[in-house]
Amino acid sequence: MMILSDRLELIASKIEKGETMADIGTDHGFLPLYLFDKGVSPRVIMTDISRASLEKAIRNTQSFYGEQGYASVPEEICFRTGDGLATLAEGEVDVVVMAGIGGRLMCDILAADPEKSKSFSKLIMQPRKHPGHIRRYLLENGYDIIDESLVREGKFICEIITAKPSECSDDTDSGKSDIILEMMKYPPDSIVWEAPMWYSDNDSAIGREYIERKLKREQLILKSKESGRNADTGTTKNNIVYLEKLLAGIKGE
């Protein structure tokens, strides 16, 4: 039986039965293998820029099916070496997953071929860092963010962002229009993009902890700046005020 981590299981839950998928930077290949084995995705593509890294996914897949008595891996499971979306044809799959890589790299991958990027019905992204960059890129380049989720993995809280090209989205007005216009005043590395205003709608314990962690980080940065000479504390103080307001909204205060 294939068992996923909580992070990968949550990503898997964003993919509907019958949707084909590609996992960019697949590493061990656990997510696509799980989706295919469970009958969720009838075809999966595992890609990695490194052949050595892709070999891990190949070995895991061969081992999995070998243990079940299969003579070979099903032909609906594909392995490809290459950079980003270059391994895929336009519209070849329904869903593209990018998980565990940085938000800036995700932006670069999508921007390398904008037309191809928009040929897939859904993008599921779990940025390892710089989540603000991918959020802003999506909203500036004709995508709708249709869902955001948080999940714990070890000591980390991971963000999972699901987006669709605007022409593929049923939600023509996500209710975030005014918020997005306000956020566009800030650069992508601003705390406003890192912890977006719509997080105030999240009343979960993990949502509160996520904001509390960021608030504590900013408070430590402020303390460090204040102990130095001629340090500019304005931005950090503004970040603290913003996060305190966001946290109050999450707690319903």
DSSP for the chain reads -----HHHHHHHHTSPTT--EEEET-TT-HHHHHHHHTTS-S-EEEEES-HHHHHHHHHHHHHHHHHTT-SS--TTEEEEE-SGGGGS-TT-SSEEEEEEE-HHHHHHHHHHSHHHHTTSSEEEEEESS-HHHHHHHHHHTTEEEEEEEEEEETTEEEEEEEEEEGGG-S-S--S-HHHHHHHTTS-TTSHHHHS-GGGGG--SHHHHHHHHHHHHHHHHHHHHHHTSSS---HHHHHHHHHHHHHHHHHTT-
pLDDT tens-digit series, residues 204-236: 889 899 999 999 999 999 998 888 766 788 999
pLDDT score at 253: 47
pLDDT tens-digit series, residues 190-204: 999 999 988 887 778
pLDDT score at 250: 76
Of the pLDDT bands very low, low, confident and very high (cuts 50, 70, 90), residue 74 is: very high
Residue 174: pLDDT above 70? Answer: no
pTM for this prediction = 0.92
**Rounded average pLDDT over 71-82:** 94
pLDDT tens-digit series, residues 112-167: 999 999 999 999 999 999 999 999 999 999 999 999 999 999 999 999 999 999 98
